[in-house]
Structure 1
């Protein structure tokens, strides 16, 4: 008789983060009765900020954000999956990536996680409220601002979201963030990005400064909301495109164009890593491969409320019927999304830079001074990163 194996996993506390992991764990147990997988949850804020290397000492499986990979791999906290999974399987993952999702977990010659979830800021709206207003979803930035001036636009503006959107508007100003080792972006582009974002956020509710994308989806989809009809930029959650998930079903699509060009938003999503400290590596690796496989991603994972990382799931007709074409309509945004830089000090930069940008957008710091502080922080985190072995 095979000895029982118990694995622990950590993900984040939204149905998109937890439900597909619970469903795949249950099915994996049915196929392998000796293996039981217990998934636990942490807040979205903790998902973004809590050191993964600390989680790796307590959990066999970890759902994580790709910018943490350099730091975690430098501390030998997670397994290089290319040393344990077949080249054929990883080749399939690379061939069916959604945008830069798969490559975002590849660092210094190794694949550190599997892209089981893909996301980037997209637009969403309440079709019934827009119809009541007699307008279509804004297609251009000018149309968006006109709707915002009427008080019908929501944008999640918690600090981390302000930073992610700042990158987007740097790109729109013609500057690739982090192309230099001295500044995040040329100062004229950085100031233009702040001003573009400030103009939009100034037209929104004061409470939006504390809202993350989940809160914005919940608010717009709620039965109580009769005013906020449209959001141009928020990490998309396909759950809200499904009938019955919230009081009102949301529609999704591309953000408005700016100066005639589509916006490049900042890639998010989540990867599945295996702890280097796990005493049940073989079982954890087998489950990770099961979850990330095209067959499971396209079916059980998505059907359970997941937002898959495998391209076949995004192209699947049944998944698109279930979500009002969420996947087909937003896939182009993911395919052109900007991938954040990867160096061991980036997570510190992201945490502190989010607050700097948030303060500047709220008027607490002069824009030029905020950009100077942002660039100084960037140089300092780069210098600190050189002291971390990788």
Structure 2
């Protein structure tokens, strides 16, 4: 055993540790809130641990909330309690309206933000941009991608689907699954609408959620697919689908669109390692699935802004994104991490196999009030998927909910 004996008593504010670094008696304490999954919590803790080692005067504490709370919990409450928030981009409009978050244009160097803008995967960076304000840094990039069990596809003698018709054909054997919970059926509706309309630019207007013909076609495509699948999917979120697909005895060999979770493509996480692919084409065009991922934002109530700004640049930097962040289970938002050979070797090719989907995905609405539509709209979509009756009525209900949620914008 080695005994360390201090012969000189230093002031309490500055004492060496056994690692040769200095620690302060009263460190600067930063707090953050992220979400409770191996993709959300461990990366922030791991990066913070290393940051603390490099900056012994800093302590960073992260707490976590469930996936459901991540998608719906008010950012006003969180910004009162934490310095940093990991959030979803649909909160951008609310953040701008409430001024509860610091525009990062006022906190971070312009050249750093320009680098983030150029190098974030797909539309991740601009999804947090509104009215000239940058609300968050895209530290995690995600969108629904195709996922499959290579062993089960080969056993069934089936090919990986390339078109919507291929998906329907494969689903006829009851081996297809996707997340059918209310939130996800609404986001799938948005994805199909953006694909049919040729982009999201003509959607989400002041008086209409989507054109009637576009919405009707999207709902019908959802209905025809779910008619060939297990109805249990209506109760499932993406994590539950992944857990089911990665089971050794899973009957499911393919999911046509499910938010990417890189953890399930790494050895040791599930009973079977999954494989990912770009989504299929619909009438010759790749599906424009709906952007997800997370952004790192800063509360307007935060005090230690210089230290927070430095940490934000650290966690979102290219080097950390493709090393420490990924190593700890994260799914980087920085594009070069998606292209990195070493990162892909350790994730069964997840990033290179799905990057095109991310580059072509659509952005859901972000106006102040949108979250009310996201919380409730999926039940209307689900009802049509189950019954296939009164498409006009379903779209009218969606539009009424949409217009109600837009009041005050």
Query: Do these two structures clear the TM 0.5 threshold for a shared fold by scoring above it?
Result: yes
Q: Aligned equivalents of 1:170 and 1:84: distance in 2?
A: 37
Q: CA deviation at 1:364?
A: 8.5
Q: Aligned equivalents of 1:94 and 1:76: distance in 2?
A: 22
Q: CA deviation at 1:281?
A: 2.2
Match of 1:191 in 2: 216
Match of 1:182 in 2: 207
Indicate the larger mover: 86-95 or 339-348.
339-348
Q: How many residues align?
A: 384
Match of 1:157 in 2: 180
Q: Aligned equivalents of 2:319 and 2:403: distance in 1?
A: 44
Q: Aligned equivalents of 1:316 and 1:153: distance in 2?
A: 30
Match of 1:333 in 2: 357
Instruction: Check the 8 A contact 1:155/1:201 in 2, yes or no.
Output: no
Q: CA deviation at 1:363?
A: 2.1
Gaps of 5+ in 2: 1-12, 14-23
Match of 2:146 in 1: 123
Match of 2:378 in 1: 354
User: Alignment partner for residue 66 of structure 1, among 79, 85, 89?
Assistant: 89
Match of 2:346 in 1: 322
Q: CA deviation at 1:76?
A: 1.8
Instruction: Check the 8 A contact 2:223/2:388 in 1, yes or no.
Output: no
Per the normalisation by structure 2, the TM-score is 0.91
Gaps of 5+ in 1: none
Indicate the larger mover: 361-370 or 119-128.
361-370
Q: Aligned equivalents of 2:90 and 2:281: distance in 1?
A: 27
Alpha-carbon spacing, 1:97–1:291, altered in 2? closer, same or farther (3 Å):
same
CA deviation map 1:183-227 (0-9, x unaligned): 1111111111001011111211121101111111111001231x1
Indicate the larger mover: 357-366 or 369-378.
357-366
Aligned residues: CA RMSD: 1.4
Match of 1:265 in 2: 289
Per the normalisation by structure 1, the TM-score is 0.95
Q: CA deviation at 1:115?
A: 0.3
Alignment of 1:42-121 (within 5 A): 42-121=65-144
Query: What's the secondary structure of 2:295's corresponding residue?
Result: strand
User: Alignment partner for residue 238 of structure 2, among 213, 225, 240?
Assistant: 213
Query: What's the secondary structure of 1:57's corresponding residue?
Result: helix
Q: Aligned equivalents of 1:181 and 1:75: distance in 2?
A: 21
Instruction: Point out the structure with max Rg over C-alpha.
Output: 2
Match of 2:228 in 1: 203
Q: CA deviation at 1:74?
A: 1.8
Indicate the larger mover: 171-180 or 291-300.
171-180
